[in-house]
Every structure is written in C-alpha cells, then in structure tokens.
Amino acid sequence: MAKRIVIATGNQGKVREMINAFKNLDVELISLKELPEKYPEPVEDGDSFQANSLIKAKYYCEKTGLACLADDSGLEVEVLDGAPGIYSARYAGENATDEENNAKLQSKLQDLALAGSPAAYKCALTFVDTNGHKLFAEGSCSGEIHLEARGQNGFGYDPYFYVGAKTMAEMTLEEKQAISHRGEAIAKMAELLKKYLAN
C-alpha cells in the first residue's frame, strides 16, 4: 500500500514539483488543499529554513495523523546581507503577494543604485513520520537578481532570478528542477525516502 504523505504547502507549484520528483516512489502525496479539514498555519518562528521546515512538518503530522513533508525556502541576496532570507514569503508584510514582495526587493536594489546582485535560492526539506522518524535534505541554486522581469512560468522571485541568460520563470518545469534549490533538495529527499520506505 502506498505511503500517504501530506505536503505542507498550499502552493500548487511546489506540489507539482514534488509529485513529478516522487513519481517512481510508492507514495500518495496529499496537498493541504485536498485535506477535508483546514488547519490554522503554524507559527514559523525558527531562525533558519531547516528549523521552519521542521516546525511545519511536525505540526501537520500531529494534526493529520499522517507522515508529512514540509519545505521552507527563500532567497538570499548578497548586497542585502542575505535578506529577505527566511522572510522571503512575507518580505513586504504578512500575506504579501509575489508582486508586493518583488516590488520591495526592486526598491531595495534601486535605493542602493544597483541594477542587480549575486543571490541564491535556498531550500530545506523535512520529512516527519508518525513514528517520529525524521529525514532532512537541503539544496541551493546560485544566480543573480536583476531589475528586469522576464518569463511567465515559476512563482515568487523567479521572474527576477537569472541563472546565466535565463530567468527561473523562463525555464520549463524540467529545466528548473534540474538546477533549482528545491529540485536539488527534492532529489535528495526522494533518495532518502526510497531507502527509508524499503526498510
């Protein structure tokens, strides 16, 4: 019987990436939107991506009684001393939209009279099983943030995040997964899960 795992995100983009990466594993992935009950979001007061992903995974595992996989990821911009970092999703305030977060990032660069900066996407993934077993995986992707947005794919800061000549938002899902921070973390997690589920 397939292992049922809750993916602790409402972001359908992330859900699609995980379903694609885990398609060869004997798992059934369930997004938060598919759960019959809606839960208030946990307080993410960790001081790192890993700490926040663990908070989410433990919380939804306890609430649903199912194994849970949670990610915490974000953007670290060199000239902004690593900001927005763990505050990437709420850079412009709680419940900020992608557009609002991007507008704040652009204005920060413009305040420094810069057209761009080296930056990196970071991702931490945590799996928590109902027996308390935990698995951790991390990934990163280096690139540059520029003021010009390009591309229609992706989400978050993708239209402004350049890897070489292309933005993340100009890549196909497969291209993005091959180099992205989340793609790297998910690939590592798929290997860890494969070994864990084989036991």
**Active-site residue numbers?**
72
3-state secondary structure of 20: helix
In sequence order, what are the residues at sequence separation of 6 or more whose Cβ sits closer than 8 angstroms to the Cβ of residue 84?
A: 74, 75, 76, 77, 91, 101, 105
CA 137 to CA 135: how far, in whole Å?
7
Report which secondary-structure segment, H or E, holds 178. helix 173-179
CB atoms within 10 A of CB 196: 15
Cβ atoms of 124 and 50 within 8 Å: the answer is yes
Cβ atoms of 24 and 2 within 8 Å: the answer is no
Please report the DSSP string for 49-104 in residue order.
HHHHHHHHHHHHHHHHSSEEEEEEEEEEEGGGTT-BGGGGGGTTSTT--HHHHHHH
